[in-house]
Amino acid sequence: MEMPIPNLRHLRVFLAVTEYKSITRASDYIFLSQPAITQAIAKLESQLGAALFERHSDGMYPTDCGKVWNDRVSRAVDHILIALIDIAKENNIKEADPKHMLALISTTQLKALVAVCEAQNFSIASRNLGVSQSSVHRAARDLERLLTVILFERNSLGIHATRAARHLSKASKLAFSELRQGIYEINTIQCRDVSTIAVGSMPLARTTILPKSILRFNERHPDVNVNITEGPYYDLLHHLRQGDIDMILGALRYPLPADDVVQEELWSPPLSIIAKHDHPLFGRDNQVTAEELAQYAWVVPAQGTPTRQAFEHIFQDANVALPTRFVESSSQILTREVLLESDRLTLISAHQMEREINIGLLKILPYPLEHTRRPIGLCLRKNWLPTTTQSHFLSMLRDVCETFR
């Protein structure tokens, strides 16, 4: 179930009360009546299921939950404020006051913006949000008038999100992610940790590191869900940078693919040539040559992947023409089945076929590939602040990788 995102204006009230430690002083700062502020705080506490302030004679002080929430809300608001400042600069809006704009923007408007940017269609966006199309239109157009920039343009394919729209949409998603993290942390403080960890997984991690880590992690955190997203690396990178997932686990890329992410190497396994157990190349006295490898059909990953580059280097380094008969696929299941039913070869980390190798269905072909070691690890957002539970999961990944190392 989608976690509800609190009202942005209520969050602004919360930050003011936290800063000034008084509803009266906060009222003067944000120009809201004291009853309105009291009502906003009460609604926020009800939504979070936690008391955010302790009321004392000399003022209002945040509880432990309030301190955690303050940190997350501040980070969320900063994401949006920085985007508004950048949009004002890029569009040369000299009279714009980003802080004033922020005070007028609603969560509903930002959710509509994100939905339309992702769907590139108002009708689909309205269905995804579960509201009327007119409501989404109104929220998007109100936001355009407030920012005094065009967010959506019509073209022959439908709706096109402008650079300003994409910029603010990304900031909004990162802000929403911070708020979800804050809710998870509050739940943990209250001993009801039912959070979700979202992992983008590349092929090698899915068969080795990740299953073992999840099982060990859930022994200590049985109520925490782990959502695995699979897909091409650059799709996962997009989702990571947008705040849809918390981390990518898999082969690292060099140079660094974006300036807002960081990488951490966990393990560097070599690649191996794998074939069925009775392949003609087994049982030979002489070492297999690149010329002989080129005579067979292969199963290889897509162009541009590190493994595909390593495959091509095997033959280029030996000055041998590349094999011309191959199936191109990143599916481990398809690769396994094709190998078992033919004399095809594949280049892959042996850990990805560990079970098949252990029971004797597949074997590693002796061939020197120590130089193909490739770093496997984590890709994270540069300014990401993991919750305690997420930190435990990261520690589990590191421990499991250490056993492989």
- All domains in the chain, ordered by first residue: 8-171 (1.10.10.10), 193-267+376-404 (3.40.190.10), 272-372 (3.40.190.10)
The whole-model pTM stands at: 0.88
The pLDDT of residue 1 is 47
Question: What is the chain's length?
Answer: 405
Instruction: Report pLDDT for 403.
Output: 85
Percent of the chain with pLDDT over 70: 99
pLDDT in tens, 73-121: 999 999 999 999 999 999 888 777 888 899 999 999 999 999 999 999 9
The pLDDT tens digits of the residues spanning 124-134 come to 999 999 999 99
The residue behind tokens 């190392």 is: 405
Query: CA 103, CA 197: separation in Å to the nearest integer?
Result: 31
Kindly indicate the confidence band of residue 221, based on its pLDDT and cuts at 50, 70 and 90: very high
Query: Which position has the higher pLDDT, 330 or 211?
Result: 211
Q: Give me the percent of the chain exceeding a pLDDT of 90.
A: 80
Average pLDDT over residues 198-224: 91
Mean pLDDT of 138-146: 94
Stretch 18-30: mean pLDDT: 93
Query: Looking at the predicted structure, is the pLDDT value of residue 147 above 50?
Result: yes
Q: So what's the pLDDT on residue 371?
A: 87
Does 405 score more than 90 pLDDT?
no
Confidence label for 287 from pLDDT (cuts 50, 70 and 90): confident
Of 215 and 92, the one with more pLDDT? 215
DSSP character for 373? -
Average per-residue pLDDT in the chain? Answer: 93
